[in-house]
Amino acid sequence: MENNNLINWLFKTNAVRICPENKPFWYTSSKIGPYYINTHFLYGSEEKANSLLKVIDVCKENKMDCSEIILELAHKNFETDEIFRGLITTMCEYIKSNIDIKDIGYISGGERRDWFFSLIVADILKIPHITIFKDLTAVLYKDGVSSEVTDLGGANVLHIADIITEASSYVRAWIPAVNKLKGNLKYSLVVIDRLQGGTEKLKDADVESHALMNVDKGLFDGALSGGHISSEQYGLLMKYLDNPTGTMKEFLINNPEFLENSLNADAKTAQRARICIEEDIYGLK
């Protein structure tokens, strides 16, 4: 795709965050790193994304209503927001050019941030949508109607997600949920692949992995030349991209208080820090 567009949109919506000095982000995988991408900000802005998340948090309590509510809001936003419209149009074009549409029986999306993208893409491509919840239950949304679903008869499914790092959400939730429905999660399309093992994990599970964009040097080259990051930040990011584990191991050795502080932080951070220590992810023992 026109990577430059996507890079501009990511920075314009403040979706890419670079950590303050000595304060790396925690990731789902219980690893740490210097950047975090809030892909769902491509809905137009942080404020718009948060307001859709708020609606989702309420409407997901009623599983039969929620697909329609989210899709309607996404359509309205598609009409008025240039960035969101550009992104969704690019996703649809990517699918048409790179995947045999006739081979896709269903498009799925998982709670919550996948739904920003999966429902509207399915609707535009006229493919039924499987709305998957965190408890691994699912609802079929087809021709404007939600219904219960138990058997997809072996049909192929394209799962659409915001971003993959290690594809842990696919392995933990989305693949088992589609298998339970006797579907075949054959394809994955994400907006961003952080290139940290996700594609390989998907390949092991027989899932063909697609991404509109990979996080590599090119993203941060664009950020530097566009004046979005400083040359100091750029240097740190290059070091991390070159050797994510080694760079963060060195950081933890030089900043032993970081893990200690994380253990005393909010519940999610503390849990990630605990796993990082217990599994000795950085080989510090």
Least Cβ distance, residue 242 to ligand OMP (angstroms): 18
On the CB side of 208, how many CA atoms lie within 13 Å of its CA? 12
Please pick, from the candidates 138, 155, 167, 185, the single residue that binds ligand OMP as defined by CB under 6 A: 167
Which residue is listed with tokens 């790179």?
98
Least Cβ distance, residue 18 to ligand OMP (angstroms): 11
Is there a contact between 213 and 191 (Cβ–Cβ < 8 Å)?
Answer: yes
Nearer to ligand OMP, 128 or 194 (CB): 194
Least Cβ distance, residue 165 to ligand OMP (angstroms): 3
Chain residues 17-46 in contact with ligand OMP, contact rule CB under 6 A:
27-29, 36-37
Our finding on whether 248 is near ligand OMP (CB under 6 A) is no
Task: Provide the 8-state DSSP code for 279.
Answer: T
Tokens of 62: 């009623």
Chain residues 176-195 in contact with ligand OMP, contact rule CB under 6 A:
none
Distance of CA 155 to the CA centre of its chain: 24
Tell me, what amino acid is at 118?
Answer: S
E strand intervals along 149-217: 156-164, 184-193, 208-214
Nearer to ligand OMP, 123 or 162 (CB): 162
Please pick, from the candidates 46, 68, 166, 208, the single residue that binds ligand OMP as defined by CB under 6 A: 166
Our finding on whether 111 is near ligand OMP (CB under 6 A) is no
| Tally of CB atoms within 10 A around 141 | 26
Our finding on whether 169 is near ligand OMP (CB under 6 A) is yes
Nearer to ligand OMP, 155 or 229 (CB): 229
Q: Residue 263 contacts by C-beta under 8 Å, 6 or more apart in sequence?
A: 270, 273, 274, 277
Length of the chain: 285
Nearer to ligand OMP, 165 or 233 (CB): 165
The 118-157 contact track toward ligand OMP, x by CB under 6 A, reads: ----------------------------------------
Give the integer Cα–Cα distance in Å for 52 and 50: 5
Residues that bind ligand OMP (CB under 6 A): 27-29, 36-37, 162-169, 198
